[in-house]
Amino acid sequence: MTEAQKILTRLGAPANLAAIGVGGRWQSAAGSPLTVRSPIDGAELAAFAAAQASDVAAVVRAAGEAFRAWRLVPAPRRGELVRRLGERLRQHKADLAHLVSLEVGKITQESLGEVQEMIDVCDFAVGLSRQLYGLTIASERPEHRLAEQWHPLGPVGVITAFNFPVAVWAWNAMIALVCGDPVVWKPSEKTPLCGIACHAIAAGVAAEMPDVPEGLLGLLIGGGQEVGQAVAADVGLPLVSATGSVPMGRAVGQMVAARLGRALLELGGNNAVIVTDDANQDLALRAVLFGAVGTAGQRCTTTRRLILQRGIAREFTAKLVQAYRSVRIGDPLDERTLMGPLINRAAVEAMLAALRQAREQGGEVLHGGNEIDRPGHFVEPTLVRVSPAATIVKDETFAPILYIHEFDGLEQALQIHNDVPQGLSSSIFTTNLISAETFLSHHGSDCGIANVNVGTSGAEIGGAFGGEKETGGGRESGSDSWKWYMRRQTNTINWGSDMPLAQGVRFDL
Ligand code: NAD
């Protein structure tokens, strides 16, 4: 038994791993074989048959049946399921984090942080289960009440990316569950074991509550895109929440739109940090280092562009090169390591191809640029000084490449900043109030997340998370993101004995 399999067993997964889960009922699939290898050293972690598109309908049907029961359960009681889940995640935090490190290659600190994010969102959702408020609105008619209420929406399809293999499911599932919605989850085929682990934990908790219907939580592990496409196309899923690349979001968004469903899209970012001449450089350096090198550059919020004011550009770049030289790369399970591997061979190839293009477009590699010769998929974190006009900087390359640009005035910095197709996360480092407020204003950053003296990466769950433009426009996790998972109903109640029409319209016999 591999270490990963031992962890899965402790978390309640079946000894023979199965690609389909409906609550505590696991079902082996007959799709293509899926061999899971660790990006750390290429070692095989597990192998089993993947699900197929034809498996989706039955799981969605079970979710539909569960919906009819779950929507009748009072929301605070639904919160009780999530509260217990949060407790169970606390118990299994170390095991689940270890599995994330083995399967994705994240360093232990970041894997623990990811599981903590799940726990945090459970806490948030429990509170939310007593706060699914609607508004009461002043009616223009006498003796009338105008109000809104929020009802459960139905089963939610959740498609997730490899880089947050457990947290993004939790962001969606915990909110959906308290809102009264079952969840059908299609994890990334690059991280199926994390999917099995979360499902096993959740199904174990659900089995302890008699009012939880079996089909409330569904899992489908596909080997490629076909299962995700079947999820997007299924009319039994009024909402599909999809996290991943822009091409994936374009495909899923169009399929969901074609059936007039609701799509919540959380797609790629191309996040920048602006550092002005008056900034606290120490703060900026630490934030840029974590933002660009953390998770080996494989976060949607990774800092990919650094826009430096001319006065400090050379000095700040020199400090950054120095810091990059000290980054310890290697086994993510070693506490001293700061950067682990990329997810697979294709990610390494994509990074090297992007660097070739950057050089062709006039880029100068200031640090890194190479694959590291050892088992697994290790690369050097890389700094490239390049013009913001280079087309390569408009792309999200999911790897630790940081492009460095220079600017003179803030207007120019904002123009460079916003001149990319994506709009997820952004930061300015400045001690000047006017620069900070301009950055946050309607003619500042065009991103869904804009920070001052805080890096682009590492959001808290309490805020709504998501971005604009090609990032897809969705919002998940905190604030009022829950409204995506519910249907709004506007009610007008006449408690008088007259029948006035709105807008003063008269229609008397
Ligand atoms: P990916 O797009 O390759 O895959 C994501 C998921 O979509 C997987 O489950 C995959 O099987 C599925 N999928 C892919 N193509 C599909 C299709 N045509 N139809 C249906 N399903 C399809 O992404 P990835 O490599 O796993 O993750 C990296 C990407 O995810 C990056 O672009 C990153 O920025 C983005 N991401 C965004 C956020 C966010 O919140 N904005 C968070 C994490 C990751």
* Ligand 1 pocket list (CB less than 6 A): 159-164, 186, 188-189, 225, 228-229, 232, 243-245, 248, 251-252, 266-269, 300, 396, 398, 424, 471
CATH number at residue 206: 3.40.605.10
Cα(394) to ligand 1 centroid in Å equals: 18
Q: Kind and range of the H or E element at 171?
A: helix 167-179
Could you tell me which of 207, 220, 167 has the C-alpha nearest to residue 56?
220
Pairing status of strand 422-423 against strand 468-469: antiparallel
pLDDT digits (tens, 9 = 90+) for 316-339: 999 999 999 999 999 999 999 999
Distance 161 CA to ligand 1 centre (A): 4
The stretch 151-165 carries a mean pLDDT of 98
Mean pLDDT of 437-461: 97
Average pLDDT, the chain: 98
Q: What does the pLDDT read at residue 430?
A: 98
Q: Do 324 and 251 belong to one domain?
A: no
What pLDDT score was predicted for residue 241?
98
Count of domains observed in the chain: 2
Q: Check: CB of residue 102 under 8 Å from CB of residue 45.
A: yes
From the list 114, 300, 396, 406, the catalytic residue is 300
For residue 465, being part of any structural domain is answered with no
Q: What is the pLDDT of residue 223?
A: 87
In a shared domain, residues 59 and 197: yes
CATH number, domain containing residue 435 = 3.40.309.10
Domain presence at residue 206: yes
What is the pLDDT, as a whole number, of residue 300?
Answer: 98
Residues of the chain with pLDDT > 90, as a percent, come to: 99
- Residue 37 CB: number of other CB atoms within 10 A? 17
Find the mean pLDDT for residues 388-406: 98
Instruction: Look up 266 and say whether it is catalytic.
Output: yes
Whether residue 432 is found in the same domain as residue 485: no
pLDDT tens-place string over residues 175-224:
999 999 999 999 999 999 999 999 999 999 999 999 999 999 999 999 88
Does the structure show a pLDDT above 90 at 39?
Answer: yes
Same domain as 284, residue 188: no
pLDDT at 173: 98
Q: Quick one: residue 258, left, alpha or beta (phi over 0 = left, psi -120 to 50 = alpha)?
A: alpha
Find the mean pLDDT for residues 411-423. Answer: 98
Whole-number Å distance, alpha carbon 187 to ligand 1 midpoint, is 10
pLDDT at 224: 86
For residue 125, the model assigns a pLDDT of 98
Q: Are residues 174 and 236 part of one domain? A: yes
Q: Please pick, among 110, 266, 396, 476, the residue that the annotation labels catalytic.
A: 266
10-37 pLDDT tens trace: 999 999 999 999 999 999 999 999 999 9
What mean pLDDT is predicted for residues 372-385?
Answer: 98
Assigned token pair, 183: 């969840």
Give the residue whose CA is nearest to atom 20 of ligand 1. Answer: 228
- Categorize the per-residue pLDDT at 497 as very low, low, confident or very high, splitting at 50, 70 and 90: very high
Pair 256, 280 in one domain: no
Q: 258 and 333 in one domain?
A: no
Beta-carbon contacts of residue 184 (< 8 Å; ≥ 6 apart): 56, 59, 60, 63, 155, 156, 157, 158, 218, 219, 220, 231, 237
Share of the chain above pLDDT 70, in %: 100
Q: Determine the residue of 171, 246, 300, 426 to mutate for testing ligand 1's pocket, defined as the one with the most ligand atoms within 8 A of the Cβ atom.
A: 300
Q: Which two tokens stand for residue 253?
A: 């968004």
Q: Residue 326 is part of which domain span?
A: 271-452
